[in-house]
Structure 1
Amino acid sequence: MTLDDLAARQRAFAEARDWGPFHTPKNLVMALTGEVGELTELFQWLTATEAARAADDPALRPKIEDELADVFLYLIRLADVLGVDLVAAANAKIDRNEHRFPPGVGGAALRKD
């Protein structure tokens, strides 16, 4: 399934439930933020090592997958409502980042002094 297919499936899901009036950009951004918060909560008190291994925990993995899916689906829906091609936007962003952060500069380039 492509990203376009997933967007169409999500759009049809929303349309079948008459959610269009509620799927405004503002509301979708707020819902996306809430889902990112729920994902954050899963990692909140984990050490860096525990977080790196979180997906290996059979009790935690399904929760992580659900929250990642929620974030992904809201992001796709928001882009669809706004008419943004996420793949093109992501590629353009990587292109800009390649110029901002050339190879070999290292982590020092990420710090804001």
Structure 2
Amino acid sequence: MAEREGVNLEELKKKMAEFARERDWDHFHSPRNLLLALVGEVGEVSEIFQWRGEVQRGLPDWKDEEKQHLGEELSDVLLYLVRLSDVCGIDLGKAALAKLEMNALKYQVKLCKGSSKKYTQLKAEDKDGNTSTDDAQRISDPHDA
């Protein structure tokens, strides 16, 4: 595949489906198997960072080979995620945009700018920094990522 800009999720989805179909791998690509493969690849990305301590943006101290290796592992994560979403019938692009919109409501700029607190903590605090337990429990979402 020639190097170019602007690859989209739909293109990746089609290429992954074709890749699996050509190799007769569709029967292996159950949601469970794809999820486990995805988790394994995330573990490989984690391993790259495991003993490095904090890493600067842009990875200025990394060798080209290290960056290339990271790119390969991140690509594996992306490709398994795209394949999993396709097999599950989820439009990943639409789901991601919807999630961004939900997060924009949860993490309103005026409440969270410069803070790493979870949205339940931000909304539960009054202007004096006092927290209402009732409010925090009422707006808590156990399914939130």
1:61–1:108 Cα change, 3 Å: closer
For residues 3-30 of structure 1, the C-alpha deviation after alignment (integer angstroms, 9 at most, x for no partner) is 1111111101000111111100000000
**Higher CA-based Rg:** 2
Q: Is the 8 A contact 1:35 1:71 kept in 2?
A: yes
- Name the counterpart of 1:110: 118
Asked whether the equivalents of residues 43 and 51 of structure 1 are also in contact (C-alpha less than 8 Å), the reply is: no
Residue 99 (structure 1) aligned to one of 76, 92, 105? 105
1:46 aligns with: 52
Is structure 2 residue 19 aligned with structure 1 residue 23?
A: no
Kindly provide the CA deviation profile for residues 40-68 of structure 1, in whole angstroms up to 9, marking residues without a partner as x.
00001112135762684212101100000
Return the alpha-carbon distance in structure 2 between the equivalents of residues 55 and 35 of structure 1: 24
* TM-score of the aligned structures, taking structure 1 as reference length: 0.88
Equivalent position of 2:127 in the other structure = none
Cα gap change, 1:22 to 1:55, in 2 (>3 Å): farther
Q: Is the Cα contact below 8 Å between 1:10 and 1:77 reproduced in 2? A: yes
Compared with structure 1, are the counterparts of its residues 55 and 37 closer, same or farther at alpha carbon in structure 2 (3 Å cutoff)? farther
Once residues 47 and 64 of structure 1 are traced to their aligned partners in structure 2, the CA distance between those partners, rounded to angstroms, is 16
Give the partner amino acid of 1:88: K
Q: Deviations 1:68-91 (Å, cap 9, x if unpaired)?
A: 000000000001101111110001
- Aligned-pair Cα RMSD in Å: 2.1
Identity fraction in percent: 37
Larger RCO of the pair (alpha carbons < 8 Å, separation 6+): 1
Q: Given residue 15 of structure 1, which amino acid in structure 2 is its aligned partner?
A: R
The amino acid of 2:85's aligned partner reads: A
Gaps of 5+ in 1: none
Alpha-carbon contact 2:17-2:83 (below 8 Å) kept: yes
Distance 1:7 1:99 in 2: 29
Q: Which moved more, 1:62-71 or 1:46-55?
A: 46-55
Q: Aligned residue pairs: how many?
A: 113
Kept in 2: contact 1:101–1:109 (CA 8 A) = no
> Structure 2 unaligned runs (5+)?
1-6, 122-145
* Equivalence for 1:58: 64
